[in-house]
Structure 1
Amino acid sequence: MSWELGPADLPDLARGAAILGTGGGGDPHIGRLMVAEAMRRHGPVTVLDPDEVADDAFVVPTAMMGAPTVMIEKIPRGDEATAALRALERVLGRRATATMPIECGGINSMVPLLVAAHTGLPVVDADGMGRAFPELQMETFSVYGIPGSPMVVAGDHGETVVIDTGRDNVRMEWLARGATIRMGGSALIAEYAMSGADVRRTAVPRTLSLGLRLGRAVREAREELRDPVAALAEVLSTTLYAHLRVLFTGKVTDVERRTVDGFARGRAHVTSFDGTSTLRTRFQNETLVAEVDGEVVCIVPDLICILEAESAEPITTEALRYGQRVVVVGISTPDLMRTPEALATFGPSCFGLTEQFRPVEESVPASR
């Protein structure tokens, strides 16, 4: 059933999307402010349940790509994503009937809402990652046979680049990353144009509404002086993301972060409050693996989320700082993200990790 999303919903959605973003997807605060201003001018946005989208609908996902560290300083002008969508429409000779997120994390939960507010298009309540991933081929759309190109990369000086690599989504990512770097390290894109039937076949469903529910659950738990992490676990237990495990609590004691080849890459260490144990993470925009005292407790594609210890406010990888008191949680991904085909596209080996995927609910007891 379709529903309206307005300015009052944006803080909760930004918070929930940042949780699902596993530290990546870009700063949700920037996106929230941009969408709030667009809604002030143009009104609320209509969100479509994937089951409501007609089989022959033409859905064009929109997003930002680039290093999150760059996005903090290089704020989008605001119309680049719409320019990318319009340029792709011209290439394909067809007008979009809806837009959709490529990932549900961070600013990329907000970019399609910005496009929708500017154009009047509805947004489909689904996405192609079920979380955030750093590369364009790392999408369920790609896993299940949708070509990402032709795609358009749009910069903040009015330029657009059309990339068409046929069904080679890995090469599409490589070329688009190069264009994005030369546009200053971040850009807006339109890609993976598909039918409504393909949305239902390949997308992770209802992740916008899930992000909204998660953000609301954290806020309400804080207002009612309840444990916000327990509130998150309760909401997730009835969804495709059924299992939440607390992996570690402690203080951030070291962060190494570099912007390399269009990505924010690095490591972080968290030390337990009693000083006897250490959690280590590695990230490429998003947190990829968490090890406690040398033992892997959660690994991509399962979600690793670093939250502020008292408030459960999500902390993005570019915002990690020495001294932050945090709780680190692992969240299981939906089954369509754990198939052999999916793991071949965005499993551990795709990031150069030698560790094998093991579901977080098997690695960590529920009581931990």
Structure 2
Amino acid sequence: MTAARTGTALTRITEEDIDAIAIGAAVLGTGGGGDPHVGALHAKRAIREHGPVPVIAVTDLDDDGIVAPVGMIGAPSVSIEKIAAAEELVAAIDLLEQGTGQRVAAIMPIEIGGGNSLIPIAAAAERGLPIVDGDAMGRAFPEAQMVTYHLAGLGPGATVLVDAQGNAVLSRPVNGAWSERLARVLSFEMGGSATMIDYAYPGSVVRDVAIPGTLSTARRIGELLLGSELRDEERIGRMLDELGGTRLFDGKVSEIERAVSGGFTRGRAILAGTGDDRGAGFELDFQNEMLLGRRDGVLAAVTPDLIAVLDQSTGHPITTETLRYGARVTVVAFPCHPQWRTEIGLATAGPQYFGYDVAYEPIEELALRAEEARA
């Protein structure tokens, strides 16, 4: 039995939906957002114990009901080995309610990333609450202030961090930048990752700020990549057609550098071309998420547009912490949500924020220029 649907939109999530959502969210998560396998295990267990999770559209939120974004913060490489317990999710929601005096009406992913799309589903099941079909990034980003709430001039409000030892911290950062600084230090002291809630706002605010329909989009991507109606070589192409994406490179990982630093998984991957890209090279830079790609030294895609690395045969996404030497991969890119192409969006999550000495250019323009150069 699959989830009940209205058109292509989810109206509830069952255990049978989780694998598709996990794969699709990992594609949109651009290599970050936590491990999708761990998140899927959490969500499946919670649904098995507590039943399917109702899904509510962003447009259907009540004005006054508080929507709590629940997720994990820290280095993805750590979260694979330091798996959060269900008690952490419940404790985080309890502390938010105690600290604010307001009841949570719904749960929302703060980002559409591998694990951070599934942990909120588990939290919703644990508390018997609906999950919102939307998020605050339209992808995954490495820092806490990189959300559409911040772009709208809103602060993080009451912020909760909880760890496996039972430590629970409620803070009120003055702005998004301070939220990131404080949460990063705390998550490091909590063992490298922690459960986090921030930017909890009523539905009237979420309707104006959230990027709608992203869980449904993730589920659709997963259906395409898992479905038997397409041959392996057709799946990536169909997904790109539906999402307006671009195939950047086919290659084999010839070098990988990766380390946990400052609470992030940082690194670089070098690819040697295969197939039509034989003889060319591709370089990927990442900080939890894939942020920049260059083909033979020429910019091919850059944050805030989405860059994903997929298994060349199955199309399944590969996260930054599981990318391995010798893997045969396809690199693809998708346009980001228009909010990220604004002046404040680029100042918050554009290439220069991350220290790259390049100007942002939309993936559509870069892809057209690359096609003309190869013609």
**Shared fold (TM-score greater than 0.5)?**
yes
Which residue pairs with 1:270 in the alignment?
271
Does the aligned pair in 2 maintain the 1:151–1:192 contact within 8 Å?
yes
Code of the residue aligned with 1:244 in structure 2: it is: G
Matched, 1:198 2:219: no
- CA deviation map 1:49-68 (0-9, x unaligned): 01110122211111101000
Superposed displacement of residue 327, structure 1 = 0.5
Which residue pairs with 2:192 in the alignment?
185
Does the aligned pair in 2 maintain the 1:222–1:311 contact within 8 Å?
no
Does the aligned pair in 1 maintain the 2:157–2:172 contact within 8 Å?
yes
What is the rounded CA distance, in whole Å, between the counterparts of 1:233 and 1:281 in structure 2? Answer: 20
Matched, 1:348 2:356: no
Does the aligned pair in 2 maintain the 1:218–1:231 contact within 8 Å?
no
What is the rounded CA distance, in whole Å, between the counterparts of 1:245 and 1:235 in structure 2? Answer: 11
What is the rounded CA distance, in whole Å, between the counterparts of 2:241 and 2:227 in structure 1? Answer: 13
Alignment of 1:281-292 (within 5 A): 281-292=284-295
What is the rounded CA distance, in whole Å, between the counterparts of 1:250 and 1:234 in structure 2? Answer: 21
Superposed displacement of residue 235, structure 1 = 2.4
Which of the residues 73, 84, 89 maps onto 1:81? 89
Alignment of 1:37-76 (within 5 A): 37-76=45-84
Which residue pairs with 2:314 in the alignment?
311
Which residue pairs with 2:259 in the alignment?
258
Does the aligned pair in 2 maintain the 1:99–1:123 contact within 8 Å?
yes
Does the aligned pair in 1 maintain the 2:265–2:288 contact within 8 Å?
yes
Alignment of 1:230-245 (within 5 A): 230-236=237-243, 243-245=244-246
Which residue pairs with 2:35 in the alignment?
27
Does the aligned pair in 1 maintain the 2:232–2:313 contact within 8 Å?
no
Q: Which runs of 5+ in 2 are unaligned?
A: 1-5
- CA deviation map 1:317-345 (0-9, x unaligned): 00011100010001111212211111111
Deviation beyond 2 Å, 4+ runs, structure 1: 221-226, 365-368
Which residue pairs with 2:182 in the alignment?
175
Alignment of 1:123-202 (within 5 A): 123-166=131-174, 168-202=175-209
| Number of aligned positions between the proteins | 361
Superposed displacement of residue 145, structure 1 = 2.0
Superposed displacement of residue 222, structure 1 = 6.5
Superposed displacement of residue 189, structure 1 = 0.7
- CA deviation map 1:197-218 (0-9, x unaligned): 2111111111001000011011
What SS class does the counterpart of residue 51 from structure 1 fall into? Answer: helix
Superposed displacement of residue 367, structure 1 = 9.3
Which residue pairs with 1:331 in the alignment?
334
Does the aligned pair in 1 maintain the 2:233–2:313 contact within 8 Å?
no
TM-score by length of 1: 0.95
Superposed displacement of residue 37, structure 1 = 0.8
Which of the residues 8, 14, 24 maps onto 1:16? 24
Superposed displacement of residue 153, structure 1 = 0.4
TM-score by length of 2: 0.93
Q: CA-atom RMSD, angstroms?
A: 1.5
